[in-house]
Structure 1
Amino acid sequence: MTMPTALVCLDVAERVASANGAAARLLGRPASGLVGLPVDDVLPAGMGVTVRAACREALRTGGQVTAEIPSPGVGGGWLELQAWRGPVGAAFTLVDVTARRRAQEAAERARRDADRAGDLMALLATVTDELSGALDGETALRRLARLVVPGLADACIVTVIDRDGRPRDVSSWHTDPARRELLARYAQVRLDTLPAASPVARALRDGTAARESAEAVLGLMAPGPARDLLSALGPESAVVLPLTAEHRPVGVLTLYLDPGRTHSAEDLAAARQIAVQAGRAVDRVHRQSQVARLVEGLQRSLLTDPPAIDRARVVVRYVPAAEAVRVGGDWYDAFLHPDGDPVVVIGDVAGHDSEAAAEMGQLRGLLRGIAHHGGGGPADVLRGLDAAMAHMHPDTMATATIARLERGGTVLRWANAGHPPPVVVTADGTVTVLARGLGDLLLGVDPATERREFTAPLPPGATVLLYTDGLVERRDSGVDEGLERLQRHLAELAGSPLDRLCDELLARMLPGTPEDDVALLAVCLQPADEDAG
């Protein structure tokens, strides 16, 4: 009976001592023709080294040695080699295990595919949650690049067409920390230099998706920093997916793949679904921006320029937040007290929407009327405003600071209802935060609460600065850190004309896309003798 397993016995010189019929068929020679030949001569090229090594290991250890090796011929089959110590030398068998090997490989592929499908589903769920659930749509889009790397790409740049129709790269991320700064620098310059035929330009213009080699993209680019940076980044290819809303491009998702990485059909399908979600998020940001413009227009119409005040220089600034949901409640004002002293006001209505802007206009007018009719000091005005709000605006809360420049501008008298403290800057660079915490209770909570007044001397030419919390608060730092930055910048800007001081201060304190709206008021009262001169 023919054995299904090829069996070969060797002598001590590693020559064939005997072989069965299965071995003869496998090796393509009669069994008698194998005897006496060196094992290397009877085995296909490349197989002899593995067989001899296994036989020597079996002789050395006295145990069985097992390995899988490619079978001779075409077809990509596999043989299982088993070697052990025989009667004289070593013996070995060869069994065809191709079916078993392919079944194992198929099971492993299925497991990997299932794992990959699970990973893609989890990624899609995370991106969908981030982009569809976030009120702050632009911030969510800035996080998108980090979400898709490394799951779908080695690097990513997210491009958004802003409210003015201009494309902006809003975020980038690379799986390699050493190349993140390089990618960020590329994102800063690429849109200004990409030719019209490039995949990104076509996606922005026509909404066309593309998969292109980095070599082809470099061939389209003119010599310069952008081309040098992309070459240094070293991707092998890029997948460009348009972000669309109502069948028009509103941005682009660019996925970069390093050498050796490719996208499967499932990867591309997931990337397209993410692009769809991102397009909806961009559209939502655009709609929020339209609301922001309306709210900002309303707020600016209520924030009139301060009146001319003898011997006083008053400068005001208002910076809207990047997101519509953050605009609405900040205000400032300046007017003369009935006794002739300049009065300046800063305030912030709780809430960020058109309703907050409308309430702000109502409170601003109420405060002016109370100040003119009552003629009292800052604390009296806050008490009157709190009482009026309890009856006329019972659901409104606000913070406010009122300051009055008395005795020819040599004394500042102020009261604070839950607002960031005033700051005084002298010409020599001394900066004083008139800190009493956040002052008394904010307006609209308890009209019977005590309202206190404070005074501070004002050196000649000193500037009083009032501001809303958006100037000193950020998501990544608290008010204390913000006040430290404010003092440092004001010390450096001391002595500057008020317009320049305010503009430079805002440029230094605020990020490129402000997280909250900001109102700022600076007043400087010159002494009478200096004014006359």
Structure 2
Amino acid sequence: MNAPHSAKVAGIDSTVPSPAHTVASAAPGTCPAAPQSATYTADTAETADTANVTDRPGTPCAPGALLQDRLAGWVSDLTTLHELTERLVRTDSLADGLQELLRAGAVLVGARRGLVTLEPADGLGPDTTVGLGLARADLGHIETVPRDALPHGRILDGLPVGEGGLAEPDLFAEKLLDPRHREVAARLGYAASYALPLSAESSASTGAAGSTGDNERAERTARLGAAVWFYDEPAEPDARQRHLAGLYTRYAAPHLARLLEVERTRASMATLAEELLPSRLPRVPGVQLAARHRTGPRGGGDWYDALPLPDAALGLAVGSVTGAGPSAVAAMGRLRASLRAYAVMEGEDPVAVLSDLELLLRLTEPARSATALFGYCEPALRRITLAGAGHSPPLLIGQRRTEYAETSVSAPLGMLACWEAPSVEVQAEPGETVLLYTDGLLHRTGGPADRAFARLHAAAAGVPRAARQDPDAVAEHVLRTVLPDGRAEADSEEDVVLLAVRFD
């Protein structure tokens, strides 16, 4: 009679090795030890053993109890993997994703510290190293070890690695261990390591059906980097820990690859936006200039400009194009270039400059609108003639006053059949600063408009007296005060632009 087959359970991979608690043989008619499961803690990577006190080794075992125990182990492992991958997919930045990978891997392999080195095979970056339980100085010490002496370094150099990863169970027992590696391991207090590669399927085409061989399949596997975990004592993960860690990294790699592409897109959009803005501000007698620009993750359409004009004058502009992404950045570049041309031709009349810009926008970008503020600055007279289209009023910051300049109410460009609004003159005193800004500064506060304006006014009024002599210090103080707790640098859909003009 043939032996009965084990029942198939949905979601269970029959190739998964037996759980650790069933590997040890049990005496006939007795139950093995109760299953152990890894419990994940969100704040710290640690394992906690849980045992069923009713099932003890040596107690009589009912028929099928061994199979039930094995199934319970598989379910426990699948539940752990599910929880860890769920936490990973909720990360929305590359830095958070790498940290979550390290924490989850430490849980699965029973380690306390580790690092992941991101080094995409396409060479496009970003190349970075993130540590878990390792300070920046510790990472620096590890980087002094020759690359081929480190397990993750050998992986990055293309050393073939099986599904089991690269384990070094006792570093100090290895006679061929690199002396520098031995020194660093002793300094940092780790005695063993376990490393795994991070690879994801590339987006290259697979070619004709049936013509793809093993080499081509290997080429389509794009290396992202490598992760390594460190043990304080000689140790190595067992077969099941290796299997679970391998499964997790295979699940994690595609998500990290997507986060990598998002990070690259953000960097590209920020670079493109910066390249479309002035590389440096002009030096004009009688005024000092400073600017701040923060780009959103998708790339926005906020801009600023300052260009010398005839008769020792200066053209000042800030503005914003609706939308986000590459198209908005491109539209911003076109609009800014056009405004520069109009400013050179008729800059002494800001209303005419914005009227021409509105006509161009309506003809070439009919689906967009834009806000803009253009000022014709005469440094010798400490005077700025302003025209605004749906834009927030500038702010005057001096020793005796901090107030918004009164500007006429007007619609954004592209909203009306024919835009027109009167200009206003802003007369500054010696030592005063005129602050131009885009609405993103107000929107990024997350509060109502009136509160945002009040916060901006309070931040400007609170600029230290010594800092008011430097427009760069004024802009920095206002930005950090209006957007505290890192919100000036944090990702936001809103761009932020500040242009500070201080009169001597």
Shared topology, TM-score over 0.5?
A: yes
2:196 corresponding residue in structure 1? 241
Aligned partners of 2:140 and 2:381: how far apart in 1?
50
Shift of residue 389 of structure 1?
A: 1.8
TM-score by length of 1: 0.57
Within the alignment, does 1:264 sit opposite 2:241 as a pair? yes
Alignment correspondent of 2:428: 458
Q: Which residue of the partner structure matches residue 30 of structure 1? A: none
Once residues 161 and 431 of structure 1 are traced to their aligned partners in structure 2, the CA distance between those partners, rounded to angstroms, is 53
How many Å apart are 1:117 and its aligned residue?
Answer: 1.3
Q: Residue 240 of structure 1 aligns to which amino acid in structure 2?
A: A
- Sort the Cα spacing of 1:111 and 1:404 in 2 relative to 1 into closer, same or farther, 3 A: same
Give the corresponding residue for 2:15.
none
Q: Check if 1:161 corresponds to 2:119.
A: yes
Q: For 2:179 and 2:68, how far apart are their aligned partners in 1?
A: 43
1:253 maps to 227
Aligned to 2:287: 312
Compared with structure 1, are the counterparts of its residues 474 and 438 closer, same or farther at alpha carbon in structure 2 (3 Å cutoff)?
Answer: farther
What is the CA RMSD across the aligned residues, in angstroms?
5.3
**Residues 130, 424 of structure 1: CA spacing in aligned structure 2 closer, same or farther, 3 A cutoff?**
same
Match of 1:494 among 455, 467, 478: 467
Q: Does the aligned pair in 2 maintain the 1:404–1:413 contact within 8 Å?
A: yes
What SS class does the counterpart of residue 464 from structure 2 fall into? helix
**What CA distance in whole angstroms lies between the structure 2 residues aligned with 1:271 and 1:513?**
32
1:494: Cα distance to partner? 1.6
1:482 Cα deviation (Å)?
8.3
CA shift, 1:435, in A, is 8.1
The 2-side partners of 1:146 and 1:485 are apart by 43
Distance 1:201 1:97, change over 3 A: closer
Q: In 2, are the aligned partners of 1:295 and 1:353 still within 8 Å (CA)?
A: no
Q: What is the match of residue 338 of structure 2?
A: 366
- Asked whether the 8 Å contact 2:198–2:253 carries over to 1, the reply is yes
Q: For 1:102-501, list aligned pairs within 5 A.
A: 103-104=64-65, 106-121=67-82, 123-124=84-85, 127=88, 129=89, 138=94, 141=97, 144-145=100-101, 148=104, 152=108, 157-161=115-119, 167-170=127-130, 183=134, 185=136, 189=140, 192-196=143-147, 197-206=149-158, 209-213=165-169, 221=181, 230-231=188-189, 238-244=193-199, 249-255=223-229, 264-277=241-254, 280-281=257-258, 284-285=261-262, 288=265, 291-292=268-269, 295-296=272-273, 300=275, 303=278, 305=280, 309-316=284-291, 325-326=298-299, 329-335=301-307, 341-371=313-343, 378=350, 381-405=353-377, 408-417=380-389, 422-426=394-398, 432=402, 434=404, 441-446=411-416, 451=421, 457-468=427-438, 480=452, 483=456, 487=460, 490-491=463-464, 494-495=467-468, 497-498=470-471
Which deviations, in whole Å up to 9, do the C-alpha atoms of 1:462-518 show, x marking residues without a partner?
233334567777699999498489649953772555567778988998789764766
1:507–1:223 Cα change, 3 Å: farther
Offset at residue 293 of structure 1 (A): 8.1
Larger Rg: 1
Structure 1 unaligned regions, length at least 5: 1-73, 80-95, 174-181, 527-533
Instruction: Please list the CA deviations of residues 393-442 of structure 1 after superposition, one character each: whole Å capped at 9, or x if unmatched.
Output: 2122333333344684445554554556544444x5x7846389998654
Change beyond 3 A, Cα 1:414–1:278: same
Shift of residue 273, structure 1, vs aligned partner = 0.6
d(CA) in 2 for partners of 1:511, 1:280: 26
Contact in 2 for aligned 1:148/1:156 (Cα 8 Å): no
What corresponds to 1:88 in structure 2? none
Note the alpha carbon deviations across 1:352-398, whole angstroms, 9 max, x for none: 44433332232123334555666676566445533442233212233
Deviation for aligned residue 1:460: 0.5
CA 1:106/1:475 → structure 2, altered by over 3 Å: closer, same or farther?
farther
**Cα drift, residue 295 of structure 1:** 2.9
- Residues 205, 285 of structure 1: alpha-carbon distance in 2 compared, 3 angstrom cutoff: farther
Q: Is the 8 A contact 1:218 1:227 kept in 2?
A: no
Whole-angstrom CA distance in 1 between matches of 2:291 and 2:310: 22
Gaps of 5+ in 2: 1-25, 32-56, 201-218
Figure out how many residues of one structure are paired with residues of the other and give that number: 411
What is the CA-CA distance between 1:270 and the residue it aligns to? 1.8
TM superposition shift of 1:267: 1.1
Question: Per residue, is there more helix in 1 or in 2?
Answer: 1
- Aligned equivalents of 2:158 and 2:445: distance in 1? 37
Give the 3 Å change call, closer, same or farther, for CA 352–463 of structure 1 in structure 2.
same
Structure with the greater relative contact order (CA < 8 A, sep ≥ 6): 1 or 2?
2
Q: Which amino acid aligns with 2:278?
A: L
For the Cα contact (< 8 Å) 1:441–1:449, is it kept in 2? yes
Name the CA distance, whole Å, in 1 between partners of 2:105 and 2:410: 48
1:347 Cα deviation from its structure 2 partner: 2.0
